[in-house]
Structure 1
Amino acid sequence: MTNDIQEIQVACFRLGDDIYAADIMRIKEIIRPMKMTTLPKAPGFVEGVINLRGAVIPVVDLRSRFDFPRRPNDQSTRLLIVKVASQLLGLVVDDVTEVITVPVKDIKPPPQVATGIGATYLVGVCLVKENMVMLLNLDRIITSREADELGLLDMGKKGC
């Protein structure tokens, strides 16, 4: 038996009518939105920060990040708490739908398009039950410069 990964498990979620997914090994938890504190002069896609059991976690609205129309949070809105750049980051999604197992051989490269989120934010796409699922590259949701601006590299280490 080889160590090659044959399949991955991903959590599927909706942004509008589209289905995206993230590797469940990078997702620490999925929670309902909670009280947020806004950050002055933060990029437009950063909604603010939350305090989750003593950890200060920046929250990114994926709709804003991908230049999709905004929509108000509702009962189905969720926060994916993911590990990015060795820090936790909250991602606002419209709805989390299911966890699926995807054979690695079924993952195709993301479409190379001049505009849109193609190569920048995706690691690949796959078909699941006739639906196109776009697999997010969590390491590219924010750039290293944006992480520095948000203080991600030392946010979890500071106390008041």
Structure 2
Amino acid sequence: MANILANVDQRTKLVGENRLELLLFSINSTQLFAINVFKVKEVVKLPPLNAMPGSHPHISGIANIRGVSIPVIDLRSAIGFRPVPPNDDANMIITEYNRSVQGFLVGKVEHIINMTWSDILPPPKMAGRNNYLTAITRIEHQGHSQLVSIIDVEKVLAEIIHYDISLSEGVLDETLAHEMPGRKILIVDDSATARRQVRDTLGQLGIEIIEASDGLQALTLLQKWRDEGKQVSKELLMMITDAEMPEMDGYKLTSEVRSDKAMAGLYITLNTSLSGSFNHAMVEKVGCDKFISKFQPDLLVEVVQERLRQIINL
């Protein structure tokens, strides 16, 4: 188990090449699930858990890992399956999302697969809005083709941790308030929960939000506007994009926009739950204007205000 996440530095090089690696695991006897390796810190056999009275029902307890207390979420019950007592196959996947560390109680951890984002597809529309998937893919597993469901971890966490969209006192620049209504921002994120968090935060300012659920969808929209003769950088105050998305990731999206003279001036902010230090390097490499880690309403508004000041020369 300790070697399953070896060579992390090598793995990070896949990000920005429209590739990713998925950690496969089971939470029941028939289905395979996955999360992006880049968000995984460690995989361990499920340790003894300490009860946490009054906690959310999906939190199984607290694990002590080398002196650090980590809340453990029963992923099976969190995504709508009937909870069952852990057995000998139980493992804990320790992850870092949105600047918080938590463990996910899962069953057997299988292995890591290397994929391109073009192989990762959105879940079927018939799955409805309440599903817990950001994407699906198909792999060869044990001699036959099998569907893999990629968990929308941000949705799981948002139902357990309250994300407050209210702004701290003094964050909103009153001299810019009249400049915000009617301004348009394109939000690109495969997680409907993440899009809603940004939409609800910026919607308070009167900003009009346009949404895309992956990089290819966003690029197609921008190219359509370009072909209609619209100036993309005038049409939008900015584009706020996630890094990891089906079909085309945020780095590839940024690179495509920057390589098109008609769109190259679009202001682009990378908004992701991936590691900060790595993303700052990628921002520089692909040409994003800003990087912010999820989910920080104050910082989100400050970035918007900074861009507005550039436009109106304040």
TM range (shorter): 0.7 to 0.9
How far, CA to CA, are the matches of 2:81 and 2:58 in structure 1?
Answer: 11
TM-score in terms of structure 2 length: 0.43
1:77 matches 2:90: yes
Name 1:68's counterpart in structure 2: 81
Name 2:56's counterpart in structure 1: 43
How big is the alpha-carbon RMSD for the aligned residues of Structure 1 and Structure 2? Answer: 1.9
1:20 matches 2:69: no
Letter in 2 for 1:5: E
How far, CA to CA, are the matches of 2:111 and 2:137 in structure 1?
Answer: 15
Deviation per CA, 1:115-142: give whole Å up to 9, x if none: 762xxx3221000011100112322221
1:5 matches 2:20: no
1:123 matches 2:154: no
Name 1:92's counterpart in structure 2: 105
Structure 1 portions without partners, runs of 5+:
150-160
C-alpha contact (below 8 Å) 2:40/2:95 kept by paired residues: yes
Shift of 1:85: 2.1
What is the number of equivalent residue pairs in this alignment? 143
Letter in 1 for 2:139: V
Alignment partner for residue 137 of structure 1, among 149, 152, 155? 152
Deviates more, 1:107-116 or 1:63-72: 107-116
Shift of 1:99: 0.4
Name 1:157's counterpart in structure 2: none
Shift of 1:6: 2.5
C-alpha contact (below 8 Å) 1:5/1:104 kept by paired residues: no
Identity of aligned residues (%): 22
Shift of 1:39: 1.3
Alignment partner for residue 147 of structure 1, among 142, 145, 161? 161
Residue 43 of structure 1 aligns to a residue whose secondary structure is: coil
Structure 2 portions without partners, runs of 5+:
1-14, 164-314
User: Which of 1 and 2 has higher RCO (CA within 8 Å, sep 6+)?
Assistant: 1
C-alpha contact (below 8 Å) 1:66/1:116 kept by paired residues: no
How far, CA to CA, are the matches of 2:135 and 2:123 in structure 1?
Answer: 4
Runs of 4+ in 1 over 4 A off after TM superposition: none
The structure with the largest strand share of the pair is 1
Letter in 2 for 1:132: L
